[in-house]
Amino acid sequence: MLLRVRNITKRFGGLVAVDDVSFDVPAGHIKAIIGPNGAGKSTLFNLISGFYPSTSGSLRFEDADITHMPMHTIARRGIARTFQTTSLFKHQTVLDNAMMGYRMHAESTLFDALLRTPRARREEAETREAAFEALNFAGIEPLAARIAGSIPQEAQKRLAIAIAVAAKPKLILLDEPVAGVTSEETLEHAALIRHMAREGYTICLVEHKMSLVMGLADSIVVLHHGKKIAEGTPGEVSADPAVIEAYLGAATHA
Amino acid sequence: MRRVLWILAAAVAVALPFLVPKSFYLQIIASAYITAIAVYGLNVILGYTGLLNLGHAAFFGIGAYAVALLQTKAGWPFWPALLAGCVASVVLGALVGMVSLRTRGNYFAIFTAAVGVMIAIVFTNWQDLTGGNIGIVNIPPPPPIGSLTFDGDVPKYYLVLAALALTILICVLVRNSLIGRTFVAIADNEDLARATGVNVARVRLTAFMLSTFLAGLAGGMFAMYNGNLGPDQTGLDITFEQLLYLVIGGIGTIAGPLVGTLVLVEISQQLQGVEQYRFLIFGPMLVLLVRFFPLGIVGGFNRLTARWVRP
């Protein structure tokens, strides 16, 4: 099992944002986390990636305990993530953004940089190559020289994915990858995510758009008020009365 | 285009002692180079990493006092004293950095300002060692290397120029390296930097130490060039002056610290006699610049030329 989430809980003061949630992500799967607004989906991601410390429970990644590791260490172990509000290095070029994704694999120090050692040169070339590969993967290579903050919104979302892919991670966490894009672009993004899965990436995504999730995920975890209320294939989950009550039902009334 | 400008500037800098007959003018330019080295240090921490170190001039002071004291009190020759001055500045930078980098934004600025003030107080009041307000005089010139002597304005000018060239080279190499990209990335988006596996605390400390190294180098050059040294070179007002040069030259750019320093030193020269009122002119200048040219002279120039010539 690639990722094991066990009884993970996060309290913010009196509010229990994530309440005793457990699930597994097997390698090669697309796992979706769904639930109504405020269900604790993004908080759950923030716990897995180490952005917040958890109140209790445990996280195991490749059979190592990552529960109390800082975010950058978890990233180096192979968990890449995107943020809900597209998060980029806005003032840097698209290429520099993607290079930062691969950056963790380079070990050259300040002295390597100052002395232009073979290691520094090799790692810079390697990083550049990995960055172009990732940009190509995300279909935005022609934008490489542009400043990230100046490219269209949809391309920015692709760049966020390119940064994650450039890291060559074992698990990618996508936090609402299609929030705020048109339905046509949603289809293209779904194709990109499927492409990632075909390339062997294990993906865990938080998503609001049911249509995207149903056609994409191997299995789904449903959260409601921070608790897991269902887990299963898209078919099983959409037939589950508790889910219909909490999520689909609510959506029909809305 | 930019390369041509750099070569041109280097040629003028090398030929300057032959172009200006008055050695007084050469001294002003050499002093500006020394300040520019310190401003480059400020650029590393503020321009790249986005942290305002208001104690910068104190690290300049550490380098300067170390070089001056090791020569006058311990009898060291200049070269090892310069090295020791840079090391002292970096070691202190590491210690201060480890504590201050736990804070962010305004708190970091306030913390480093306090450290800077404390260090300046030590320079003023540890009279047995530092000579108090009188400072240290008769700092000997660097010993000759072979037939190369450093006694006199012209050879000292070239020594300072060499230190400046080294500084600019360091900044270019760092800025274009992976570590330099990481400095800038942290300033841009700290959370995403963490998510891409960057140990933010460690990289910030690296930037801080590089910045204090350049401040120490500038201080050592100052002690060497002037032959005397007082605590007035290490205060908060000196940091603010360097900050002004950086903002006007262009924060985060490679040429900005040099251009900003030279332009403002030249303007100060033109204001001779009313020099103590120079901030009456710099102040409004800064306001106008930040309003209409927020990227500074070099940043604005880069933006303009980027429209003509695509690299």
CA dihedral over B231, B52, B202, A66, signed as positive or negative? positive
Instruction: Give B261 to chain A, closest Cα distance, Å.
Output: 25
Q: Residues B178-206: pLDDT tens digits? A: 999 999 999 999 999 999 999 999 999 99
Number of Cβ within a 10 Å radius of residue A53: 12
Instruction: Give B311 to chain A, closest Cα distance, Å.
Output: 10
Among B192, B194, B199, the residue with its CB nearest the CB of A88 is: B192
DSSP state of A174: E
Q: Measure the CA angle with vertex A54, ends A48 and A60; round to 5°.
A: 45
In a mutagenesis test of the B interface, which of A71, A73, A77 is the best target, namely the one with the most B β-carbons within 10 Å? A71
B194 and A101: CB-CB below 8 Å? Answer: no
Percent of residues in chain A assigned helix, strand, coil, to nearest 5: 45, 25, 30
Q: What pLDDT tens digit does each residue of chain B (311 aa) get?
A: 778 888 999 988 888 888 887 778 888 899 999 999 999 999 999 999 989 999 999 999 999 999 999 988 888 998 999 999 999 999 999 999 999 888 887 898 999 999 999 999 998 889 888 878 788 888 888 888 877 777 888 888 999 999 999 999 999 999 989 999 999 999 999 999 999 999 999 999 999 999 999 999 999 999 999 888 888 888 888 899 899 999 989 888 899 999 999 988 888 887 777 767 777 877 887 788 878 888 888 888 887 776 665 44
At position B211, the amino acid (one-letter code) is: S
Three-state SS across A187-241? HHHHHHHHHHHHCCCEEEEECCCHHHHHHHCCEEEEEECCEEEEEECHHHHHHCH
On whether any CB of chain B is under 8 Å from the CB of A64, the answer is: no
Instruction: Give A219 to chain B, closest Cα distance, Å.
Output: 25
Using CA atoms, how far apart are residues A71 and A104, in angstroms rounded to an integer? 13
Tokens of A123: 């790692």
Burial B26-52 (b: 16+ CB within 10 A, else e): bebbbbbbbbbbbbbbbbbbbbbbbbb
Q: Residues A88-145: pLDDT tens digits? A: 999 999 999 999 999 999 988 899 999 999 999 999 999 999 999 999 999 999 999 9
Contacts of A87 in chain B (CB under 8 A): 189, 191-192, 195
Q: How far is CA A3 from CA A64, A221, B109, in A?
A: 9, 14, 42
Q: How far is CA A151 from CA A91, A138, A140, in A?
A: 11, 14, 10
A124 and B178: CB-CB below 8 Å? Answer: yes
Question: Where do runs of H (alpha helix) occur along B101-177?
Answer: 105-125, 127-130, 153-175
Task: Classify residue B57 by burial, with Cβ atoms within 10 Å: 0-12, 13-18, 19+.
Answer: buried
- ipTM for the complex shown: 0.90
Number of Cβ within a 10 Å radius of residue A9: 16
Domains of chain A listed by start with CATH number:
1-78+169-254 (3.40.50.300), 88-168 (no CATH)
Please name which of B110, B57, B66, B109 lies closest in space to residue B86, comparing C-alpha atoms.
B66
